[in-house]
Amino acid sequence: MTLYQPFLDYAIALLQERLDLQPYPIPVGFESKSAVVGKGKHQDQVLTTSYGYQAPKLRQIRAAHVQGGNVLQVLNFVIFPHLNYDLPFFGADLVTLPGGHLIALDMQPLFRDDPAYQEKYTKPILPIFQAYQPQLPWGGDFPEEARPFFSPAFLWTRPQATEAVENDVFAAFQDYLQAYLDFVDQAEPATDAQALREIEEAQLRYLRYRAEKDPARGMFTRFYGTEWTEEYIHGFLFDLERKLSGVADH
Ligand code: DBV
């Protein structure tokens, strides 16, 4: 069992329990991809598996799970709501590299600086965030340009011990996901044309940023090549623009 498998199992089970969960198509060739990397004794297989679901209020729920040995484990898990809901994105980037663990967990806001939005979607999760601060303190260095995409309850931490990931990070992940699904339960569709336009703009802003700045681009390109990586990013991980422009899956 690799480090982030219990996170993935927990998430899928909880989603199945709480939502009317349906599959979301994964483009052919991207469900599972493997490569052998390194040389000699340091050779390792790196396996990337993808998961996709949807639910009535949620356009795409997707995960990428990278398993490449003890010091290469990644679970990137994002929920993209439908464009007629002002719901935040659920975003988890759980990364283990030779340099250590790097954890990003948040309900990523559509409208970071709108006080009413913060009241609705950040205030209820601040107590959860605060409860984990002693064990999971701020992780330091963080790209300034990414700041608008995170809420004040952004859990950003670099635990030293793997046990902290297995215990504290896993508990925080469960609490954030449960709280997110509470928001989903309560969400009412937006109908006002102006509000709908703003939601779409905010979703596209987020999506373009993430597709352009995907911190995994270098890693995937090394393992699987440029063509596979770009198609994975734009055709699956961050696919909203493709879906809006009506380009067929290929
Ligand atoms: N990150 C992704 C996807 C990944 C992934 C789809 C499937 O968005 C993995 C894989 N994240 C990943 C890897 C690294 C990071 C780092 C492999 C390490 C990169 C490296 O060191 O080589 C949050 N993830 C990071 C970093 C941040 C995040 C801030 C450090 C990057 C840096 O120091 O420049 N999650 C990430 C992020 C947003 C988010 C930037 C922006 C909205 O939601």
Q: What is the dihedral of CA 124, 208, 11, 152, to 10 degrees?
A: -20
Q: How far apart are CA 105 and CA 129, in angstroms?
A: 10
Confidence of residue 250 (pLDDT cuts 50, 70, 90): very low
User: Per the domain annotation, does 237 fall within a domain?
Assistant: no
Question: Is 207 within a domain?
Answer: no
Q: Is residue 152 part of a domain?
A: yes
Q: Which residues of 225-245 are buried (b: 16+ CB within 10 A; e: fewer)?
A: eeebbebbbbbbbbbbebeee
- Ligand 1 center from residue 62 Cα (angstroms): 15
In a domain, 238, yes or no: no
Answer yes or no: is 241 within a domain.
no
Q: Is residue 222 part of a domain?
A: no
Pocket test for ligand 1, best of 8, 94, 102 (most atoms within 8 A of CB): 102
Please provide the size of the chain in residues: 250
* 217, 232 contact by CB (below 8 A): no
Residues spanned by the domain of 37 = 5-191
User: Residue 117, SS3?
Assistant: helix
Distance of CA 4 from the midpoint of ligand 1 (Å): 16
Confidence of residue 248 (pLDDT cuts 50, 70, 90): low
**234 located within any domain:** no
Measured CA to CA, the distance from residue 39 to residue 32 in angstroms comes to: 23
- The set of protein residues with a Cβ atom below 6 angstroms from ligand 1 is 64, 74, 76, 91, 93, 95, 97, 102, 104, 142-143, 146, 149, 209-210, 214-216, 218-219, 237
How many structural domains compose the chain? 1
pTM of the shown model = 0.96
Question: Has residue 32 been placed in a domain?
Answer: yes
d(CA 88, CA 38): 39
What CATH code is carried by the domain that includes residue 28? 3.40.1500.20
- The predicted-structure confidence for 1-19, as pLDDT tens digits, reads as follows 999 999 999 999 999 999 9
Cα(first)–Cα(last) distance of the chain, in Å? 32
